[in-house]
Amino acid sequence: MPAALDLAFAALADPTRRRIVSRLTRGEARVTDLAQPFHMSLNAVSKHVKVLERAGLVRRERLGREHYLHLRAAPLREVARWTSRYERFWNQRLDALEQFLAESKEASDD
């Protein structure tokens, strides 16, 4: 697995960071705005943001004293592409299980 994908998975493993990413899907936000719904210090939220930045999921833009964050979709597309292979795998397995259960029910009804 490429290093960028490892960083993205590690960053998204934390629920706080997933909530930050989710919020950024609605548009740019200041770090202070992102921190509001969390019961943690601004410094703690900033540390989460830095993890997201290292993973390439977030881009920071400075305008004067304000720091605005933007979501970067490319790493999320890579995560989706990687996981989609396993979605197909599990769908095939579940389809086979469904067929097996249907056949078993038919056999028990006879």
Using CA atoms, how far apart are residues 101 and 95, in angstroms rounded to an integer?
10
Q: Over the stretch 44-98, which tens digit does the pLDDT of each residue have?
A: 999 999 999 999 999 999 999 998 999 998 999 999 998 888 888 888 888 889 9
pLDDT band at 1 (very low <50, low <70, confident <90, very high): low
Pick the range with the lowest mean pLDDT from 7-11, 23-27, 75-79, 106-110: 106-110
Q: Give the DSSP H/E element, type plus range, for residue 66.
A: strand 66-71
pLDDT band at 106 (very low <50, low <70, confident <90, very high): confident
Which residues partner with 59 through β-bridges? Answer: 70
Residues forming a β-bridge with 70: 59
Q: Which residue has the higher pLDDT, 103 or 19?
A: 19
Per the model's pLDDT, the better-predicted residue between 2 and 75 turns out to be: 75
Token duo for residue 76: 């999320």
CA nearest to 30, candidates 51, 15, 49: 49
Report whether 39 contacts 25 (CB < 8 A).
no
For all residues of the chain together, what is the average pLDDT? 91
pTM for this prediction: 0.77
Q: Which fold has domain 3-109?
A: Arc Repressor Mutant, subunit A (1.10.10)
Residues forming a β-bridge with 58: 71
pLDDT at 70: 97
Q: Which residues of 29-38 are buried (b: 16+ CB within 10 A; e: fewer)?
A: bebeebbeee
